Chains A and B, each alone.
Chain A
Amino acid sequence: MTRQPLILRNPSVLVVLALLAVFTLAVTLLSQAYGSGVVPTSTVKILGKTLCLALAALAMDLVWGYLGILSLGQMAFFALGGYMIGQWLMYARTEAIVAAAMAGNPIPPTAQELREAVANQIFGVVGSSELPLAWAFAHSLTAQLVLVVAVPGLLALAFGWLAFRSRVNGVYLSILTQAMTLALALWLFQNDSGFRGNNGLSGLQNIPGLDGVPQATLSVWFLWASAAALALCYVLAAWLVSGKFGSVIRAIRDDETRVRFLGYPVEGFKLVVFTLAAMITAVAGALYYPQAGIINPAELMPIASIYLAVWVAIGGRGRLYGAMIGAIAVSLLSSWFTGGRAPDLPLPGYTVKWVDWWQVALGLSFVLVTLFAPKGIAGIFDRLAGVLPPRRHGRDLGPGQGALQEKEAKA
């Protein structure tokens, strides 16, 4: 087993990077800012956001598809990343607006007055006029960029340390991650938590200091940034799962106990992957919300994280590109169907309006995928590439199930 370059071991990396480059170039050339204008700015934003969702799905796949932890709280990290960057976006922009407004006063404002006015502007909506402690660094872009990865990373580290140490596994762990997300969402929903309660942070699409740049151009820039982040993280993830590290985490997924008896500190591996995935997800969130323009605690509700799991499952977990395909395909289809642009389906006696029926169709198709195509869309690629599951398997290996259930002796 000689060491080959990453690209040769994982030809999919090259394909994904090439497709991503072509896609980005194509959208740029068709955009209103840099090209023919065939693709409207709103669509560019949707595409950019979709790339961020694909990045989140990639991280989810690391945690679920490779490590075997079905985290139902992944979108908490996504939203936290968004909140962290949103703090700077909102503060810096409000500061600029307030400073401009106060410049007209007969007496120039003191620094203290400026701060108070900004705080009043931001928090007046929740009946407060003081800047909470959590906003101590909101004036600094550098600090908030560090916090984008630091806060979700530390949360994941703390939660993971607690959960893995006590060997909470399987369904229990999933429920626990869901509870964590719900707790965080409920906390953010409070007006006095310091994040504007259910109003959330808004106006994030306006980048302070770039007032002269039109949204059409900004949207393309964000598309580039999202594509670049996705490409970088894809390479990182591919490197992570290709070597011995990948071997060990897949082994943990399949039979955690056995890995322990090989002497590997299983909890340490879980913590590393869980924390890293949380940070990747946070980066995705930090790129997503400036494109969405608004973030509020509803984004953290457990349902969002379950949808992420659904995308990864439909795309095919345990394959990095599978997760991305799932996220891109399902989220684009969802926004198409629920956006009211899909044509109604006339049936005898009843007309199916997709706005009403898409959720039903999605739910049922998800059941069907779980039942009949557990490898998801990526399974089709596997079949094309001739990668077949081991012949002697009675049944496919479920990541949560592990090798133990698949004993020949039992079959």
Chain B
Amino acid sequence: MTCRLIALLLTLLLALPAAANPALEAVVADNLDQIEKPSRRTVGPLVAEIAATGPEGLALLSAWAGRALGLAGGRLVIVDGDGATDAVTGQPVADAEPRMLRPNSGVRGVIESALVAGEIASPDRARRAAALASIARDGTAAHLAALRSAAPEADPVLAARRDRIERLLTIRFDTDPAARVAAIQLMAGDVGLDFRAALNPLLATRRLAAAEEPQANIARELRPGSDDFPREAAVALLTAEGLIQPRLTPADQRAALAAHVAQGRVGGVPVAELSDPQARDRAYEALEAAGAVPPAATESETEAALAGTRFFEVYAEADPDVTDAARAAQRGAEWRLAAMSGIDLGLDALSLASIYFLAAIGLAITFGVMRVINMAHGEFIMMGAYTGYVTQTMIADRTLSLVVALPLAFAVTFAAGVALYRLVIRHLAHRPLETLLATFGVSIALQQLAKNIFGTQARPLTAPAWLEGAITVNDVISISSIRVAILVLAVLFLGLFLFIMKRTRLGLEVRAVTQNPGMAASMGINPDRIAMMTFGLGSGIAGIAGVAIGLFAQVTSELGQQYIVQSFMTVVVGGVGNIWGTLAGAGLIGVLSKVIESFNPSNTLAAQTFMILFIVIFIQFRPRGIIPQRGRAAEA
């Protein structure tokens, strides 16, 4: 129970240099018999006396409470594993073979609260904090008393923590119901895990069957056959309480029949006929009549028992005031909890959306400008991730390697994109389906190539230390730092993209080519060069997305495959040729995935299935996406 606390104290105390302690020696010598056979009622002053002797006294107490104190030849020894030390002098004792002292729990409680009181009163802030943390982990009624009688805490942070722990312990251990109710009401609305954990045992119920209303704190009366108390549950409860005979299961029946086969017959029924359930019943009844098998509960007996019995759910906690207050507090906590879970879900969704956005933005650019689906886009993401991995193997410093990897990944995939455009896509202009297939060919070649080079096992891409961990608001709301970084990256790219499109010459030309390639060409814009640049840009962003994704996912040759379909969905749902559409698509898919997942967190496969079904149906109503291209051009 308090082992950890004691272990902590032991290590603290044993670390001190062993020195003789005359005061302790005197106290021990005077009270050896009481130490050997303590009584809960009288041991208090003695414990206080020992504690007052200093660190050695505290060490003795914690060993005593931890049942590590033994008596060997009139000396107290502290046993630690195989070794033993004299409790008073601190000298090692060889071949002690002590008789271990086994104080009862009442005595241990007194000792522990004395120890805690000592620790809480410690002048060292760190030790006070450690003591509080230890009590928070597993507090007892003894701790409550110790906390209450301890001197006021000077440090405001620790004081707040101590107050909280005291209230929690009050809820759990105080003998005065009014104090417990008051503590519960003081903490109502809190969503901390510790508060919820303190409430749960108060609200634990058990079910019982009785003829009359029992003398207990009744939560509610149950009606057999209702949704949360089906008839089978009622029958099972009756059986468990011995109010009716157990009903005969088919397996028991079969076993009973098999045990009474005689000359090819059971109870007069030929064995061959026993594949019929009715024949089995007849045979069993015959055996029952002969007294060969115990009688089974019949349907009418069960019915009568059900009718004559009332079913109750009673609280383990006896005081109705406390349970009422706890229930009210829990209801309040649940509501706030739901709201906070909603916020947490929103953060998760935002983070997922930013990943999809990063993965899809390059695809959206190329699709928007050239009406070309690049099936190798996923492999560009993978290339980016592997670039990050290779960079990390060369530069040991994680932060520096990340700073190098991001532009490097962009450069590598930009080059790959430009090469793909020049070698393949340019020659398939205006044949989108064939481009789709040709880029698919590139995709399987690149995937296998990655497998040949890096092998099939996952490669680590480790985030720098400052990106590890999470930003935690409370017990419910938290988000890992990497995801925040990815969100920032996504916002950064949105900004960069908008800047390029709205403020630069390249953006102007891209927009011109998107809207009317023929016209743009006649204005002296080279659509081929623009297409190449946008393709490179889109691929480059895929590379950066790859580094980002690699930071939290496994880098394998299939990395891209996992994101490509979602990226397509993002583009299709959002609507082509519009960055806001991609953003909306990513947002919708991110939020929806998380919301569907929250209904059944254990089954992510089902969540994905429903997600895709939703998209298929969504396309029915918005065939051109959330933000469609408008105007006459879209109709052609």
Contacts and interface: CB of A to CB of B under 8 A. Distances in A.
A182 B612 CA distance: 8
A399 B367 CA distance: 19
Interface stretch (B18-26, B390-398, B426-434): B426-434
A113 B608 CA distance: 37
Interface residues of A, number: 60
Which of A107, A358, A405 counts the most chain B CB atoms within 10 A?
A107
Interface string A376-411: 000000000000000000000011110001000000
Nearest to B565: A182
A359 interface: yes
A370 to B, nearest CB: 4
B565 A364 contact: no
Contact of B434 (A163, A302, A358, A398): A398
A111 interface: yes
B616 A183 contact: yes
A103 to B, nearest CB: 10
Interface in B264-318: 266, 271-272, 274-277, 280
B434 A110 contact: no
B215 to A, nearest CB: 43
Contacts of A398: 430-431, 433-434
A360 B448 contact: yes
Given A183-B613, A370-B428, A174 B447 contact: no
A178 B433 contact: no
A356 B452 contact: yes
Contacts of B572: 172, 175-176
Contact of B620 (A166, A302, A363, A364): A166
Interface string A233-251: 0000000000000000000
Contacts of A184: 609
A401 B431 contact: yes
A35 interface: no
Interface residues of B, number: 59
A219 B33 CA distance: 91
A113 B275 CA distance: 9
Interface string A160-171: 001101111011
Contacts of A401: 430-433
Contacts of A168: 619, 623
B565 A166 contact: no
A399 B430 CA distance: 11
B433 A171 contact: yes
Interface stretch (B94-102, B176-184, B435-443): B435-443
Contacts of B440: 306, 309-310, 363, 366
B404 interface: no
Interface string B441-455: 111111111011000
A365 B440 CA distance: 12
Interface string A170-192: 11101110111011101101101
B271 A107 contact: yes
Interface in A326-361: 356-361
A310 B437 contact: yes
A174 B565 CA distance: 11
A366 B375 CA distance: 13
A357 B452 contact: yes
Contacts of A370: 428, 434, 437-438, 441
Contacts of B605: 186-187, 189-190
A154 interface: no
Contacts of B447: 359
Contacts of A171: 367, 371, 373, 432-433, 436
Nearest to A113: B250
A111 B275 contact: yes
B154 interface: no
A179 B615 contact: yes
Contact of A366 (B441, B561, B568): B441
B566 to A, nearest CB: 10
A166 B375 CA distance: 25
A105 B445 CA distance: 58
Contacts of A14: none
B606 interface: yes
Contacts of B569: 175, 179
B373 A175 contact: yes
Contacts of A162: 616-617, 620
B632 to A, nearest CB: 14
A175 B568 contact: yes
Nearest to B623: A166
A309 B437 CA distance: 8
B491 interface: no
A106 interface: yes
B612 A371 contact: no
B603 interface: yes
A400 B431 contact: yes
A262 B445 CA distance: 44
Given A108-B271, A170-B432, A183 B445 contact: no
25 contacts: A70-B433, A107-B266, A110-B276, A162-B617, A165-B620, A171-B367, A174-B433, A176-B616, A183-B609, A187-B605, A187-B609, A190-B603, A190-B605, A303-B561, A310-B441, A357-B452, A360-B448, A362-B444, A363-B442, A363-B445, A366-B441, A367-B438, A367-B441, A401-B433, A405-B430
Given A313-B434, A360-B449, 16 more contacts: A70-B437, A107-B271, A108-B274, A110-B276, A159-B616, A162-B616, A166-B620, A167-B623, A171-B432, A175-B373, A176-B616, A179-B616, A303-B561, A309-B440, A367-B424, A374-B434
